[in-house]
Structure 1
Amino acid sequence: MGFFARLLTWIVVLLASTLYVYAAPCTLRQLNPSVTVCTPGTNALVQSPVHVVAGSTDTNPVTAMQVYVDNKFTFQVNASTLDTFVNLSTGNHRITVQGWDSTGATFKQDVPVSMQPPCALNTTNQTVTICSVVNGSVVSQPFHVVAAATDSNPVTSMKLVIDGVSKGSIANSAILDLYVSNLTVGSHSISVQAQDNKSAPFSKVLNVSVTDASHGLSNLRHIIFFLQENRSFDSYFGMLGQYKASEGLANDVDGLNLNTTLNNTQGQPVHPFHYQTVCTENLSPAWDEAHVDVDGGLMDGFMLTTTSVPSTIDPTGTRAMGYYDQTDIPYYYEAAARFTTSDRFFSPALTNTVPNRLYMFTGTSFGNAFPPTPPSGGFTQPTIFAHLDQAGVSWRYYYQDGASSAFIQQFSIYKTDSAKVVPIANWFSDIMNDSTLPSVIFIERASPSARDEHPGANIQAGAADAANIINALIHSPSWKDSALILSYDEGGGLYDHVRPAREVKPDSLAPKLTSKNKPGAFNQTGIRVPLIVFSPWAKPSFVSHTARDYTSILRLIEDTFHVTPLTLRDKNADNMMEFFDFSGAPRLLTPPSLPAQPTNGICDNNREKAPGF
């Protein structure tokens, strides 16, 4: 064979093996053939219409690319790349981008997404809703601005403008999600501007007050945090607004709508109802069930997941829709009405107790979507207690049901700091000496003795136990410079109508899931939970509407005592300054009178069902 013949053969072979990688909209996979979906990302939280961009890799010419939503054909382009917008309804969806090449071969990539608006949006076309921050709120830096546009046309950009100066923008998205820092202390105008592909921009404006991150926090010498178990905000404080109004206070709480209707496991409609018992059977708030409960923001799956904990008393799961009010937990209702609370306080992760309590101590669940087994010697993930040690800040951990019930025992730090883990009996004497009381205190819930308010336990017994601990502080010498924060570790599988808030991922670790688990990421909070902040420095009868999870408690501790943050989650969390008033003398130094918490309510699981079932 002559030289030119051999050269021609080489050229033919080379062309036959050429990998067609077209003008790439992003870094493409090299698998032959394959589709790479550039946007949206896997498990992304998106706003409709969602921007879909994809490219292809193939040794043969790619002749077409198609988009399917939940296996339904939506769009096609006769090209090797794709850039389009797709309308989605609220909920979970699977976007599939499929390529065709000249040989007739098909190849695809599936991307699960959640069309989960970051809050309830204004339904008027061409409007912007700012979900966080809230007009008139007091914020520390960095603060989180989350907004979304309602528009029938594709939104080409979302821009954040503060005091007339652009602070950032996001292209081809109807959602803006940015953190803001480096503002001066004082009042600022926040504007979120949206632009679509066919009309003039539209916007929403509000005002916030930026405070020094540590301004006034030196007034707090002691921060005490206390997490009870498994209660959603609506199940406990859904009627708080009405109670406040009955007491002559503002009805300023986003609580239950008693006309809400969800279907039980048999497709029967159920409304929220007042429990006729202070004891109910358990539910499952684990990763898979919690993601079904939220249902991509529809918040309609709570009864459907009750089959994870079968009940012969309530087989259709209506107990997930029950709530308590001031007749059941009067101590909490009056405390929330007179001290400070929030109707936008969330657990950090959309899963059950243990991963959320990992967040409480470490600012992350270090990839755990389900309860992990501690390794020999305990978890080595840095805790807030280790960082307090490094900063020379005193701390103490009180347990109620024996040292073995203390969650801190699952961490390696327990071996070196076990002397700081003491019985709750010490609390009542320790608080009598303000000068020796540690700076940071954690109070363990009393689970073995069923005083943690978990479903399955008597909520009044748990509330009375908490009231006893709190009242002791309120009437002690340590009250004058303390803040005690009471909350709940997660929602317990109980109904709440507010969808989870968007949050920064704490680290690069993805959830440890199998192919059988519901997809998801650590880019959102869990379910909304009750919160009461007890302090003489608390704003009386104040309700915060700013979205936070309880890693904000970590940020408050870190800013108050100059402690290094643990992860990106607590580093970027709001530090709860909005709950306090340090402008003068403490307004609640003489605490309001709180009622006794009764413990004589009917405890009978047979009464847990909704009326008529």
Structure 2
Amino acid sequence: MRLTVLILALLILTAFTIPSSAGEPKNVPIKHFIVLIQENSSFDHFFGTFPGAKGFPENYSMPVDPSDPRAGRVRPFKLPYPNTISLPHNKKASSIAYNGGLMNGFIRAGNMYGLNGTLAMGYYDRDTIPLYWNLAEEYVLFDMWFASYRGGCLQNALYLYAGQMGGYEKESIPEEGFNLRTIFDELDQKGISWKIYMANYDPNANYTDFKARVMLTPKYSQIARNPLLAIPRFVHNKTLNSRIVDLREYYTDLKQGTLPQVSFVIPSPYCGHSPTDIILNQYLVVDIVNALIKSRYWNESALLILWIDGGGWADHVTPPTNFGFRVPAILISPYARRGYIDSEIRDHTSVLKFIEWLYDLPPLTERDARARNLLSAFTFSEPREAVFPVELAGEPVDSERNRVLRGIITSSYGFMLIGVAFLIISAFFYRVRRKNEELAWAEVREADRVNIVSLFIASAVAFILVYLISILAFNLSVTIAIIISLYAVLAGLLILLAFLVVMNR
């Protein structure tokens, strides 16, 4: 009898430990896992005043200079604007901020780099980031999630993709690229579908591009956020490289029923990195989240919004050994606990742990082998009704208002260019009439015609350049674009005034 019971127990245990077949997840309702990668926010920076979370301690303040008490202290303050300068958050600056675990050197780090270090104590709340607060209230907010490395984006991305950084601590990309095994190698080997969706994806921006590799162009950020582009096989193998695509394919895949089982989404440049507008960042996140909620995939998906580094913003919690600073993370799923604050200690390798658990993959390194899973954030009961993100206070990237403003800027420069041409020609003929030389255009000397045309072309080039700068600035901040446009109009009027004075002497 005892033998029979033992055999039955072993059979039951075996049934529950049989691994999934290739490409099939565990017997849980999550069939698609999406990681939305953001940047540059500490937990206190976004959720320091969030009710129930491990936010600012009572009477919390930070010394301007930990070595000089006379320099004063700064308390957390609410930032009045949605975009700021980028604070230093490389290895050196992070070491200063960490200050042996005292977590009181963030202001000093900023000051040492010639910036206003007190900005590090600034924070946002519901008024500026209603999307993130709304999602945190409805789904799961992790308040003890840490970056994997005390430093910037590249090393933290390596931990997220590979569970290690291979001992590489420089900010630039090595000439030969990286030789690391990643979670995507594991997925590919087991036949599990995956993609990386990147906003404004440039297929030529990879480790073979010298300027991008050594941080001489903005293209570097594409590699730092997606280090697969610094791993030769993912660049040169057409099959692997074809799975790194533009963000527009994410929406297409949702509509056509071709969403892969594992996805990383990188919404650069609206990924929260300063000085981009945090309101515009939220609108892109709203689009990504809402597209999933409205799709056929909602009832079998989980989406994790993860900030990959602290961005130089202050946080009061001392990280565990070998971890970076605390960052926000939000889990969105019909199986996520409602309004739950998860305080278990995690870092970016917990993402690897969850994927490995879901698809029965071996750990990449000891780091992800020891990482805590995400399971405490799920219920895996019946899927609950989706809660759409709240309406934001600002304007979406492609809102009707912004399209109108962009059209006004474009039209203004067009009318200004026509006006310049008219005034140049009118001023010339006015000068001619003043000298009683009634000449038709055909009778104007060749040299004068060349001067008029050359001046018009020079003006056109100048206006086009300023227009392009305005549109580029528009993508960062509507206010900046309008200011540039107003200054351009003023400068154009002053130049025309000077031209008229010279022509009519």
Shorter-chain TM range is: 0.5 to 0.7
Residue 247 (structure 2) aligned to one of 417, 424, 438: 424
SS of the aligned residue for 1:341 comes to strand
Shift in Å, 1:257: 3.0
Query: Which residue pairs with 1:461 in the alignment?
Result: 280
CA contact (8 A) 1:486 1:531 kept: yes
Query: Which residue pairs with 2:123 in the alignment?
Result: 323
Judging by fraction of residues, say which structure has more helix.
2
Provide the C-alpha distance between the structure 2 equivalents of 1:345 and 1:527, rounded to a whole number of angstroms.
9
Provide the C-alpha distance between the structure 1 equivalents of 2:184 and 2:96, rounded to a whole number of angstroms.
34
Provide the C-alpha distance between the structure 2 equivalents of 1:459 and 1:603, rounded to a whole number of angstroms.
13
Query: Which residue pairs with 1:542 in the alignment?
Result: 340
CA contact (8 A) 2:144 2:346 kept: yes
Larger radius of gyration: 2
CA distance 1:308–1:456, change in 2 (3 Å): farther
User: Cα deviation per residue 1:220-276 (whole Å; 9 max; x = unaligned)?
Assistant: 1101112111100000011211xxxxxxxxxx2111236212122581211000001
Alignment of 1:240-255 (within 5 A): 240-241=50-51, 252-255=52-55
1:476 partnered with 2:295? yes
Alignment of 1:63-142 (within 5 A): none
Shift in Å, 1:425: 1.0
SS of the aligned residue for 2:195 comes to strand
CA distance 1:574–1:372, change in 2 (3 Å): same
Amino acid at match of 2:55: G
SS of the aligned residue for 1:218 comes to coil
Shift in Å, 1:362: 0.6
Shift in Å, 1:391: 1.4
Shift in Å, 1:597: 2.7
Sequence identity percentage: 31
CA distance 1:603–1:497, change in 2 (3 Å): farther
Amino acid at match of 1:412: P
Shift in Å, 1:392: 1.3
1:228 partnered with 2:50? no
CA contact (8 A) 1:302 1:493 kept: yes
Query: Which residue pairs with 2:93 in the alignment?
Result: 289
Amino acid at match of 1:260: Y
Query: Which residue pairs with 2:233 in the alignment?
Result: 413
TM-score scaled by length of structure 2 = 0.66
C-alpha RMSD of the superposition: 2.3
Shift in Å, 1:373: 1.9
Alignment of 1:242-281 (within 5 A): 252-257=52-57, 259-265=59-65, 267-281=71-85
Provide the C-alpha distance between the structure 1 equivalents of 2:128 and 2:19, rounded to a whole number of angstroms.
38
User: Cα deviation per residue 1:152-193 (whole Å; 9 max; x = unaligned)?
Assistant: xxxxxxxxxxxxxxxxxxxxxxxxxxxxxxxxx9xxxxxxxx
Provide the C-alpha distance between the structure 1 equivalents of 2:363 and 2:127, rounded to a whole number of angstroms.
41
Judging by fraction of residues, say which structure has more strand.
1
CA contact (8 A) 1:223 1:482 kept: yes
Shift in Å, 1:602: 9.4
Provide the C-alpha distance between the structure 2 equivalents of 1:388 and 1:216, rounded to a whole number of angstroms.
14
Query: Which residue pairs with 2:349 in the alignment?
Result: 551
CA contact (8 A) 2:323 2:347 kept: yes
Provide the C-alpha distance between the structure 1 equivalents of 2:360 and 2:19, rounded to a whole number of angstroms.
11
Query: Which residue pairs with 2:369 in the alignment?
Result: 571
| Uncovered stretches (5+) of structure 1, i.e. residues with no partner | 1-184, 186-210, 242-251, 503-523, 605-613
Residue 390 (structure 2) aligned to one of 572, 592, 595: 595
Shift in Å, 1:549: 0.2
Query: Which residue pairs with 1:303 in the alignment?
Result: 107
SS of the aligned residue for 2:197 comes to strand
CA contact (8 A) 1:351 1:370 kept: no
Query: Which residue pairs with 2:171 in the alignment?
Result: 371
Alignment of 1:36-51 (within 5 A): none
CA contact (8 A) 1:355 1:365 kept: yes
- 1 or 2 for the larger relative contact order (CA 8 Å, sep ≥6)? 2
Residue 182 (structure 2) aligned to one of 368, 375, 383: 383
SS of the aligned residue for 1:310 comes to coil
CA distance 1:603–1:237, change in 2 (3 Å): farther
CA contact (8 A) 2:267 2:284 kept: no
Give the aligned length. 352
1:528 partnered with 2:326? yes
User: Cα deviation per residue 1:24-55 (whole Å; 9 max; x = unaligned)?
Assistant: xxxxxxxxxxxxxxxxxxxxxxxxxxxxxxxx
CA distance 1:212–1:497, change in 2 (3 Å): farther
Shift in Å, 1:374: 3.0
User: Cα deviation per residue 1:255-310 (whole Å; 9 max; x = unaligned)?
Assistant: 12362121225812110000011111111111122122122221111000003432
Query: Which residue pairs with 1:361 in the alignment?
Result: 161
| Uncovered stretches (5+) of structure 2, i.e. residues with no partner | 1-12, 206-221, 396-476, 481-505
CA distance 1:392–1:321, change in 2 (3 Å): same
Provide the C-alpha distance between the structure 2 equivalents of 1:338 and 1:528, rounded to a whole number of angstroms.
21
Shift in Å, 1:216: 6.6
Provide the C-alpha distance between the structure 2 equivalents of 1:496 and 1:213, rounded to a whole number of angstroms.
41
Provide the C-alpha distance between the structure 2 equivalents of 1:599 and 1:357, rounded to a whole number of angstroms.
30
Provide the C-alpha distance between the structure 2 equivalents of 1:213 and 1:541, rounded to a whole number of angstroms.
32
